[in-house]
Amino acid sequence: MTYHRQTIGTNLYVVDEIDSTNKELLENAAHYEHGAVFCSRKQTAGRGRRKREWHSQNGGLYFSVLLKDQKNISKTYPFVLLSALAVVRCIHSCATHGIAIKWPNDIYINHRKVCGILAESSTRGNTTDIVIGIGINVNNNVSHIKNLRNPAVSLKECREEKIDLLNFLDRIINEIDLLYFDYCENKFHLYLPELNRLLYAKGQTIEIKSTGNTRLVTPLSFTEDAKLLCLENGKEVEISIGEI
């Protein structure tokens, strides 16, 4: 049965090359529709958190989702997590074990990074536009990527065969659109059990960089507003800004 999208990806734009899909939607939001998805087969200036370079060679999947007229970027954090969940659900067809969501914005397979997600915002007059960029190592060669805290992996490596990029993109967008509907209906909490099963380093004592400091915490779960609930010095704390 054919799935008919309601919001996310009803308008899909695909190009061969661009500097950054996030930049394209942020700088030209007025010319795109709410829910538009912009995809490029290659990025020449892809980036991750803290302006880190995101290697965006041919064979990977690089796309951004535009949410127009939003009041506060923090209110969309649950949808960012749901977008990660959508990617995970589609990745399951390529890798069935060791998939985890590393707060706040990465997806790992057996401790190797396969996907990065970056939410950014820009203001137009009295309105704020939010763009969620997603980069996935699919068929691209990641053996040359050396400057990551953890090694990278591609889905082709996991599956041992090439993946149809546009078909894979189509499946992910459909899943994001389904989850966006529930996000708008304030049903994010229904997905917390699934998300918490996927939490990277759950129950392990790890270092987290937050507001310029390094803290020793034990991740416990995601919260209903997409923060990270941790145990720190014997007390439960919620962390909204940081990086594992």
Nearest of 31, 34, 40 to residue 9 by alpha carbon: 34
Dump pLDDT digits (tens) for 215-238: 999 999 999 999 999 999 999 999
pLDDT at res. 235 = 97
Cβ contact 36:11 at 8 Å? yes
Could you give the number of structural domains in the chain? 2
pLDDT at res. 55 = 56
189 and 232, same domain (yes or no): no
191 and 206, same domain (yes or no): no
Cβ contact 24:38 at 8 Å? yes
| pTM of the complete model | 0.93
User: DSSP characters for 124-176?
Assistant: ETTEEEEEEEEEE-SSS--TT---SSS-B--HHHHHTS---HHHHHHHHHHHH
Domain assignment of residue 61, yes or no? yes
pLDDT at res. 71 = 78
Domain assignment of residue 3, yes or no? no
Mean predicted confidence (pLDDT) in 181-206: 97
Cβ atoms within 10 Å of 234's Cβ, excluding its own? 5
Which of 29-33, 83-87, 91-95, 181-185 has the least mean pLDDT?
91-95
pLDDT at res. 148 = 61
Distance set, CA 20 to CA 115, 121, 147, 191 (Å): 16, 14, 20, 30
Which CATH number do you get for residue 89?
3.30.930.10
114 and 188, same domain (yes or no): yes
Dump pLDDT digits (tens) for 89-121: 999 988 778 999 999 989 999 999 999 999 999
Residues forming a β-bridge with 120? 131
Dump pLDDT digits (tens) for 123-177: 877 889 999 999 999 999 887 766 567 789 999 999 888 999 999 999 999 999 9
Range of the domain at 231: 201-239
Nearest of 19, 2, 31 to residue 11 by alpha carbon: 31
Mean predicted confidence (pLDDT) in 200-204: 97
pLDDT at res. 77 = 93
* Terminal CA-CA length for the chain: 40
pLDDT at res. 73 = 77
Dump pLDDT digits (tens) for 35-90: 999 999 999 876 655 556 655 678 999 999 999 998 777 889 999 999 999 999 99
86 and 112, same domain (yes or no): yes
Dump pLDDT digits (tens) for 39-50: 999 998 766 555
Domain assignment of residue 147, yes or no? yes
